[in-house]
Every structure is written in structure tokens, then in C-alpha cells.
């Protein structure tokens, strides 16, 4: 039962926000409670009736907890436990089903152990589930020992230390992995020798024309990092903690760009941004990038990377001299910016209106970098490198509109006419392009030789997308936005790489597949630097993945928590999930006491319900028996008397009696003064049961004799 629930939860994955272990443990506890109640109730009623009565306290418990938040998803656990208990009692061929199901669950549990790291003994719930599965399997395949024997065995198994180390299958696994990797390597590199006129999803250069795309899902990069894969914020409407996914853009062929980092620092300084304000929309992060099945010499790293190393050595080039092999690793330190932050977007919006202050000198910039980010800029660049960076502002290559048609220029002017600042113009073009439907099955009259490596090639792709097909994928959206921006006098460029949305679950590593390959535009905002945009309609913009940081209220060891005050938070966002935690700064001890009191109250009420239910069953049995006895036929009364006589004998024998179904065994336990009457009553019973037809009539004297014997034995303290 518990293993079935565990399998279901693992299959559902992130759709359940509550803790799996807690949920399974609640179901197990309730199931045991229902089973125990059924065992008690079977003293008074038959098995099926006892099973139904046993879940009634669960329904009462469901009523008590349905409007509370003491235990998350407790109502669901109660319903599941009750259904499982009823099903297991009424299911046909129960023993046979349990026998074969135990073997099936064994196989599934082994699968979960190896592929989902469940049942490894690291937590109490894992040990309990493992023990339950072992007991079920052992009990199902034998008939010699009662289940209580296995229950005692389970207690001993739980007490004994359980090794968390799995069997050392390393040699066999390594050999298998070597064979698989070799086969995948051969398959991968052979596939790249053939060209069928269409593209396969994966990392590419700007030499793409925007033709049809064949989807592939091969892992190309593996990411590892110390940061959580999500940001935590507080939803002001519900006053609960929320999680929003982290999204990372990995650029290929740009290398560590210190000029970009310096531009952002200068921009923040010009706006008087201090450490606390900067933390609302930026943070320093590190990430490790391992190459898998990818054929490139480019360094693929996050935007705004200022530090890049491989095998402990600095990487200062944009691409290697040869193709990087599988297993090639990069360690990147980068400035993670929240482009969707209202603080940051307002700074960008007003960037052109700000009076440009004097550029910081090398010493001032080093001091400012240390002040707001704790970075030693002097270790990253020399003063000469810094001076070369701030003196270079060549943008001609990113303003080229070669091949742009008049209708693109007219469209650009129409879209941006109502906006003064460059950032607002960029956002207006981004919004405009997102209206077009996303499609990888693109057809049209574009020049198949036109690609994104030149302005003319992008212009042709953009023209065909905007005015003919009006649907496409990232190549088309990006080409269109770059050329529309340049037509508006804003420097722009296309960037190739990956866009990866982290999952909500913290993992040791994150696989970036070929489906994550992406192209997107960057615009050069005056006094700021290069800023990324997302015009492709298939992906959410940065507004959907903002960190929602406004006023810092507390700091956790692993992440920062911030009080959110941004209007329009959409809790139904696919990139956000409710953590179900209150953000009120109440005293934790007080909360724990309140929860404990509530749990005690509920437990007492459920106990009272069970006592009342037992009382009801007992009194109901007595009333029903009396009604049946009063209105029954003489024969029915006699048989009921004999049944009660047998029960009295068994009860007064102090467990020194084995019922073999023979009345002679009962007669031996009857006190001597009552043996004669008992022998007569049992003789009549045999006559009724096994006599010839017509011999089952009961005389009033025989009825009185059975009735008197029943009363005498009931009042007798002991049967010998």
C-alpha cells in the first residue's frame, strides 16, 4: 500500500508541492489505525461490517481537519487510507492478488532505488517502506507463520542499523556505461556527417537560414552549481512563500566579457546604487558547465561572465583552437541580473535621461566592485585593460542595416514612434513580435542562402517572417528584432546559445538538452551596455521570472527572502509555485505550541468518536440480539441460546480451550452441576442439525432448558 503511494507520488513529480515522506507516513499511520479498529470491531460484528465501521473515525477526522492547515494535504491522506483499507477487505481473490502484487512491487521498488534513490535507508520513512515491502513479500509466499511473527521481525529490522551504502555494482556499471557512451559517441558523430536540408535542434552558429527544424532531445551540457534552482519571494495577496524558477541564458562564442561587467558597474554607480539596492535585482553567481554531446569549439557561458576557468586555468578566448571533447568543463563567475525587476527596468528606462557622470578610474571602480559585490576587480584585470575597455565604444557593426527593406524601416518607426527612450522602444518591439505564432515547420519564399551571420541575411529572414510567413521560431524572431532595432538606431546583435529553465527540485546536476538551444537578441542601451530580450513567443519574458525582491526582511543560510510588494503577481504562472509557508514574523515556538494543542484536541475527539462507536456497536449488537430472540421462532431461539452458551464457555475458560468444532469439547468445560443440562441441550442441538426431516421441532421445555443454562453459565465466574 505505502509503496504504491510512493510510486504514484514519484510519477507525479512536481505537481505535488507537499513533502512525499510526510504524506506517505500519514497514510501508513491512518491505514494501521483503520486496521486496528477493524480487528477490535470484529469482536462484535462480522469482517465486512467491521471494515466499514473502522473507517468511520477517518470520516470524522476528515471533518475536523478539512478547514485546518496543521498537516498539509491531511484530508487527501485520510481519503486514500480509507479507500485502500476498504478495497483490501472487499477485493476478490485477495490472497492471490497480494501474492503476485508483492513480486511486482519488489521489482518496482528496485527500479525506484536505482533511478530515484528511494528506499536507500537515509530517512526513517524509507526504512519503514522497505521493511513493509519485505514483510509483505515474506508473508505472502508462506502459510506457516502468522503475520504477527513478521510484525515483530519488522520492529527488529527498524531498530537495527541499516547501511546506506548500496551494493558495489561499480565494476559492472562502469563497463556498461563505457559501452553505452561509446555507442552514443559513434552514433552522434556519424549523424553529423549527413545533411538532409533541415536543422536538428541543438547548438549552432549564426550560419542558420531558418528552415524546418527536426526536434532532438540529446543532452548537450550538464550544469552544476551551489545556488538553488529557484528564487523565493512572498506573495503579498496570500502572505505565503512562493518559488519562481531560475532561468539562465548561456551564450556561445562571446567569452568572458569584462567590458560588459564594467559597463553595468558604471551604470549602477551613475545611479547611486548601493549594496542593498543592488541586491534587489542582481547577484554574483558561479556555475560549472560540462560539455556532453556537442560539436563546437565555442566557450558557452552565462551572459555577464567576468571570470572563466577550465582545469584551474583562466580562459581568455571566445573559442578554443579545436573542437571541445565530451567532458570539457568550464567554471564561470557571472553577474546574474533580474531583467524583469521593476527597479532595474526603471533604471534602464531612465538611462538616456540621466546626466552622464565622469567615468570611474581604475581605483574607484575596484573600490565600488568590492563595495556592492565583494569582488576584487584588481584580480580580474589590470589598469591598462580597464582603460582600454572604457575607451572602446565602437558600435558600427551593430548598426548595419544592409539589405533592410523600406517596409521594415517603416514598421520599426511605427512601433517605436510613441516612445522616447531606447529601452521602451526595445520593449515595444519585443511585445509586437510576440504576437506571431511559434512554429518550427516554416515555409516561405526566403532565400535559402541567407543566414544570420550577416546583416543582409538577417534582413531577408526578417522580411520574410514579418510580411509573409508571420510565424517561425527563434531564428526568425531574433532576426526581425535585430533589424527592427537597428532601423530605429539602436545597436543590436543576435546571440546563439541555450535558454534553460531550472526545475523546482534541487539536483546534483541539471542536463541542458538540444531542445534548449536558442537564439535571442541583445540591444545596446546607452549608458548601460548589452541587455537581453525575449521576442520568441514560445518562451516567457523576464517579467514572468522576476525575483520579486523589494525590501529585504530576513536572510536564510541558503537563500535570501524578500518582502514582495510588486502588483500583478500571477500565482498561476508555470514558473512559480506556492510553498504554502506563512511569511508572518510570528514566534515559531508559539506556532508549534498552537499546532500541538490543535493536534491533541483532534486526537481526543477522534478517541471519543472511537469509544462511542465501540459503545454503539456493543449496544447495537445487544439490542439486535434481543429483538431477534424475542420475535424468533422456538428453533431460532434455541440455536441462539446454544451459540451464547458456547461463547460463555470459551470466555470463562481463561484461554485454556481450543475450539475444534465439537460440542463434546465444550461439555468438558461445563461445571459439574450443569453438565446434565448441558448434555441434554447439546443432544437437542445435534438432533436439530443432523436429525431426519421433521425432527427439528423444539418443545417449550427444551427452550426453557437452553435459556436457563445460558443464564447460569453467563453468571458463573469460571468454567473448569
Question: What does pTM read for this prediction?
Answer: 0.56
Q: pLDDT tens for residues 329-339?
A: 999 999 999 99
Whole-angstrom Cα distance, residue 375 to residue 256? 16
Residues 579 and 696 in one domain: no
Whole-angstrom Cα distance, residue 80 to residue 84? 6
Q: Give the model's pLDDT for residue 164.
A: 55
Q: Give the model's pLDDT for residue 367.
A: 94
* pLDDT-derived band at 570, boundaries 50, 70, 90: very low
Grid cell digits, residue 177: 556505461
502, 245 Cβ separation under 8 angstroms:
yes
- With respect to residue 187, please indicate whether it lies within any of the assigned structural domains: no
DSSP H/E element including 185:
helix 170-191
* pLDDT-derived band at 626, boundaries 50, 70, 90: confident
Question: Where a domain ends, among 125, 148, 167?
Answer: 167
In the predicted model, is pLDDT for residue 428 greater than 80? Answer: yes
Q: Give the model's pLDDT for residue 74.
A: 75
Range with the lowest mean pLDDT among 28-37, 335-344, 664-673, 691-700? 691-700
In the predicted model, is pLDDT for residue 492 greater than 90? Answer: yes
- With respect to residue 180, please indicate whether it lies within any of the assigned structural domains: no
Residues 287 and 255 in one domain: yes
Residues 429 and 454 in one domain: yes
Residues 608 and 705 in one domain: yes
Q: What burial class does residue 132 get, using C-beta atoms within 10 Å of its C-beta: 0-12 exposed, 13-18 middle, 19+ buried?
A: middle
Mean pLDDT throughout 572-600?
Answer: 58
Q: How many residues does the structure list for the chain?
A: 720
- With respect to residue 192, please indicate whether it lies within any of the assigned structural domains: no
382, 316 Cβ separation under 8 angstroms:
no
* pLDDT-derived band at 467, boundaries 50, 70, 90: very high
Residues 20 and 114 in one domain: yes
Mean pLDDT throughout 274-293?
Answer: 92
320, 294 Cβ separation under 8 angstroms:
no
Task: Report the b/e string of 379-414 with b at 16+ CB within 10 A.
Answer: ebbeeeebeebbeeeeeeebebbebbbeebbebbee
DSSP summary character for residue 323: P
Residues 387 and 440 in one domain: no
Query: Whole-angstrom distance between the N-terminal and C-terminal Cα of the chain?
Result: 45
Cβ neighbors of 231 (< 8 A, separation 6 or more) are 243, 244, 246, 547, 548, 549, 559
Higher local confidence (pLDDT), 417 or 668: 417
- With respect to residue 612, please indicate whether it lies within any of the assigned structural domains: yes
* pLDDT-derived band at 555, boundaries 50, 70, 90: very low
Say what angle helices 362-373 and 258-270 make with each other, to 10 degrees.
80
- With respect to residue 199, please indicate whether it lies within any of the assigned structural domains: no
Question: Where a domain ends, among 528, 556, 585?
Answer: 585
Q: Give the model's pLDDT for residue 301.
A: 94
* pLDDT-derived band at 206, boundaries 50, 70, 90: confident
Range with the lowest mean pLDDT among 551-565, 644-658, 702-716? 551-565
For the chain, percent of residues with pLDDT exceeding 90 = 28
Range with the lowest mean pLDDT among 267-271, 289-293, 318-322, 549-553? 549-553
DSSP H/E element including 329:
strand 329-337
For the chain, percent of residues with pLDDT exceeding 70 = 76
Grid cell digits, residue 140: 505472502
Say what angle helices 672-690 and 634-652 make with each other, to 10 degrees.
130
Max mean pLDDT range (82-96, 123-137, 174-188, 420-434): 420-434
Higher local confidence (pLDDT), 370 or 320: 370
Q: Give the model's pLDDT for residue 7.
A: 46
Q: Which domain holds residue 303?
A: 219-393+497-518+542-585
In the predicted model, is pLDDT for residue 272 greater than 80? Answer: yes
In the predicted model, is pLDDT for residue 694 greater than 70? Answer: no
Whole-angstrom Cα distance, residue 479 to residue 663? 97
Mean pLDDT throughout 379-396?
Answer: 84
Higher local confidence (pLDDT), 327 or 151: 327
- The closest alpha carbon to 53, from 626, 609, 625, 619, belongs to 609
Whole-angstrom Cα distance, residue 284 to residue 335? 5
In the predicted model, is pLDDT for residue 166 greater than 70? Answer: no
Q: Give the model's pLDDT for residue 34.
A: 80
DSSP summary character for residue 516: G
Whole-angstrom Cα distance, residue 208 to residue 473? 12
Whole-angstrom Cα distance, residue 622 to residue 626? 6
**Mean pLDDT over the full length of the chain:** 79
73, 62 Cβ separation under 8 angstroms:
no
Mean pLDDT throughout 676-685?
Answer: 85
- The closest alpha carbon to 530, from 297, 303, 223, belongs to 303
Residues 75 and 141 in one domain: yes
Higher local confidence (pLDDT), 182 or 354: 182
In the predicted model, is pLDDT for residue 680 greater than 80? Answer: yes
Higher local confidence (pLDDT), 60 or 286: 286
- With respect to residue 252, please indicate whether it lies within any of the assigned structural domains: yes
In the predicted model, is pLDDT for residue 582 greater than 50? Answer: no
Count of domains forming the chain: 4
Q: Give the model's pLDDT for residue 609.
A: 82
Whole-angstrom Cα distance, residue 218 to residue 712? 84
- With respect to residue 37, please indicate whether it lies within any of the assigned structural domains: yes
In the predicted model, is pLDDT for residue 543 greater than 80? Answer: yes
Residues 417 and 562 in one domain: no
Residues 351 and 296 in one domain: yes
Q: pLDDT tens for residues 473-485?
A: 999 999 999 999 9
* pLDDT-derived band at 14, boundaries 50, 70, 90: very low
Grid cell digits, residue 231: 528564487
Q: Give the model's pLDDT for residue 558.
A: 40
Cβ neighbors of 422 (< 8 A, separation 6 or more) are 351, 352, 490, 523, 525, 526
DSSP summary character for residue 197: S
Q: pLDDT tens for residues 91-123?
A: 777 677 777 777 777 777 777 776 666 665 556
Whole-angstrom Cα distance, residue 511 to residue 664? 77
Higher local confidence (pLDDT), 127 or 35: 35
Grid cell digits, residue 313: 586555468
Range with the lowest mean pLDDT among 63-77, 141-155, 168-182, 572-586? 572-586
Question: Where a domain ends, among 551, 566, 585?
Answer: 585
Q: Give the model's pLDDT for residue 144.
A: 67
Strand stretches in 372-509, DSSP E: 492-501
Mean pLDDT throughout 593-612?
Answer: 78
- With respect to residue 581, please indicate whether it lies within any of the assigned structural domains: yes
Higher local confidence (pLDDT), 371 or 66: 371
Instruction: Please give, one letter per residue, the 3-state secondary structure of 576-601.
Output: EEEEEEECCCCCHHHHHHHHHHHHHH
Residues 336 and 442 in one domain: no
Residues 277 and 351 in one domain: yes
In the predicted model, is pLDDT for residue 426 greater than 90? Answer: yes
Strand stretches in 177-311, DSSP E: 199-200, 213-214, 219-224, 230-235, 240-245, 247-252, 282-291, 300-302, 305-310
Grid cell digits, residue 701: 421445555
DSSP H/E element including 30:
helix 20-41
SS3 content of the chain, % helix, strand, coil (to 5): 50, 15, 35
Residues 385 and 415 in one domain: no
In the predicted model, is pLDDT for residue 597 greater than 80? Answer: no
Amino acid at each position: 500500500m505505502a509503496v504504491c503511494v510512493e510510486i504514484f507520488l514519484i510519477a507525479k513529480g512536481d505537481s505535488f508541492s507537499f513533502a512525499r515522506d510526510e504524506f506517505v507516513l500519514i497514510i501508513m499511520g491512518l491505514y494501521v489505525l483503520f486496521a486496528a479498529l477493524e480487528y477490535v470491531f470484529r469482536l462484535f460484528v462480522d469482517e465486512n461490517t467491521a471494515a466499514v465501521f473502522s473507517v468511520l473515525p477517518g470520516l470524522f477526522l476528515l471533518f475536523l481537519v478539512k478547514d485546518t492547515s496543521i498537516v498539509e494535504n491531511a484530508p487527501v491522506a485520510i481519503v486514500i487510507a480509507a479507500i485502500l483499507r476498504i478495497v483490501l477487505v472487499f477485493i476478490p481473490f485477495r490472497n492471490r492478488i497480494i501474492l503476485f502484487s508483492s513480486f511486482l512491487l519488489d521489482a518496482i521498488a528496485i527500479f525506484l532505488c536505482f533511478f530515484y534513490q528511494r528506499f536507500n535507508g537515509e530517512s526513517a520513512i524509507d526504512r519503514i517502506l522497505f521493511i513493509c515491502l519485505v514483510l509483505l513479500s515474506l508473508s505472502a509466499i508462506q502459510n506457516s507463520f502468522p503475520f504477527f511473527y513478521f510484525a515483530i521481525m519488522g520492529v527488529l529490522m527498524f531498530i537495527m542499523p541499516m547501511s546506506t551504502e548500496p551494493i558495489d555494482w561499480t565494476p559492472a556499471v562502469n563497463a556498461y556505461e563505457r559501452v553505452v557512451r561509446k555507442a552514443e559517441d559513434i552514433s552522434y558523430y556519424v549523424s553529423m556527417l549527413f545533411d538532409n536540408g533541415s536543422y536538428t535542434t541543438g547548438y549552432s552558429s549564426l550560419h542558420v537560414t531558418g528552415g524546418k527544424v527536426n526536434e532532438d532531445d540529446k543532452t548537450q551540457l550538464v550544469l552544476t552549481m551551489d545556488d538553488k534552482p529557484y528564487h523565493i519571494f512572498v506573495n503579498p495577496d496570500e502572505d505565503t512563500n512562493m518559488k519562481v524558477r531560475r532561468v539562465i541564458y548561456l551564450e556561445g562564442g562571446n567569452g568572458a566579457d569584462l567590458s560588459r561587467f564594467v559597463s553595468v558597474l558604471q551604470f549602477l554607480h551613475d545611479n547611486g546604487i548601493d549594496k542593498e539596492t543592488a541586491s534587489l535585482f542582481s547577484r554574483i553567481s558561479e556555475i560549472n558547465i560540462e560539455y556532453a554531446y556537442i560539436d563546437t569549439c565555442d566557450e558557452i557561458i552565462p551572459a555577464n561572465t567576468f571570470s572563466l576557468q577550465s582545469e584551474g586555468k583562466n580562459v581568455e578566448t571566445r573559442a578554443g583552437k579545436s573542437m571541445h571533447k565530451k567532458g570539457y568543463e568550464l567554471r564561470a563567475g557571472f553577474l546574474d541580473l533580474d531583467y524583469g525587476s521593476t527597479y532595474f527596468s526603471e533604471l534602464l528606462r531612465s538611462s538616456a535621461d540621466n546626466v552622464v557622470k565622469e567615468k570611474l578610474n581604475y581605483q574607484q571602480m575596484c573600490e565600488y566592485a568590492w563595495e556592492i559585490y565583494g569582488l576584487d576587480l584588481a584580480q580580474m584585470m589590470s589598469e591598462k585593460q580597464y582603460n582600454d575597455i572604457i575607451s572602446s565604444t565602437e558600435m558600427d557593426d551593430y548598426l548595419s542595416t544592409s539589405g533592410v527593406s523600406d517596409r521594415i524601416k517603416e514598421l520599426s518607426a511605427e512601433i517605436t514612434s510613441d516612445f522616447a527612450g531606447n529601452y521602451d522602444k526595445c520593449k515595444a518591439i519585443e511585445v509586437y513580435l510576440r504576437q506571431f505564432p511559434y512554429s518550427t515547420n516554416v515555409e516561405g519564399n526566403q532565400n535559402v542562402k541567407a543566414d544570420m551571420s550577416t546583416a543582409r541575411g538577417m534582413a531577408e529572414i526578417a522580411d520574410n517572417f514579418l510580411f509573409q510567413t508571420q510565424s517561425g521560431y527563434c531564428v526568425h524572431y531574433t532576426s526581425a528584432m535585430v533589424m527592427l532595432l537597428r532601423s530605429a538606431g539602436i545597436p543590436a546583435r543576435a546571440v546563439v546559445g541555450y535558454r534553460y529553465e531550472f526545475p523546482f527540485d534541487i539536483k546534483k546536476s541539471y542536463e541542458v538538452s538540444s531542445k534548449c538551444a536558442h537564439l535571442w537578441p541583445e540591444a545596446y542601451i546607452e549608458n548601460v551596455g548589452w541587455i537581453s530580450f525575449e521576442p520568441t513567443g514560445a518562451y516567457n519574458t523576464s517579467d514572468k521570472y522576476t525575483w520579486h525582491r523589494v525590501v529585504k526582511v530576513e536572510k536564510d543560510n541558503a537563500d535570501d527572502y524578500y518582502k514582495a510588494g510588486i502588483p500583478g503577481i500571477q500565482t498561476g504562472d508555470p514558473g512559480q509555485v506556492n510553498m504554502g509557508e506563512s511569511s508572518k514574523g510570528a514566534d515559531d515556538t508559539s506556532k508549534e505550541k498552537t499546532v500541538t494543542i490543535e493536534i491533541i484536541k483532534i486526537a481526543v475527539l477522534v478517541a471519543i468518536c472511537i469509544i462511542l462507536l465501540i459503545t454503539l456497536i456493543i449496544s447495537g449488537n445487544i439490542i439486535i440480539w434481543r429483538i431477534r430472540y424475542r420475535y424468533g421462532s422456538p428453533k431460532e431461539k434455541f440455536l441462539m441460546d446454544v451459540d451464547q452458551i458456547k461463547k460463555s464457555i470459551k470466555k470463562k475458560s481463561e484461554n485454556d480451550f481450543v475450539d475444534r468444532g465439537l460440542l463434546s469439547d465444550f461439555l468438558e468445560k461445563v461445571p459439574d452441576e450443569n453438565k446434565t443440562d448441558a448434555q441434554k441441550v447439546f443432544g437437542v442441538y445435534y438432533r436439530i442439525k443432523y436429525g431426519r426431516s421433521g425432527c427439528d421441532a423444539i418443545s417449550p421445555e427444551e427452550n426453557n432448558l437452553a435459556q436457563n443454562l445460558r443464564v447460569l453459565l453467563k453468571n458463573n465466574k469460571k468454567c473448569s
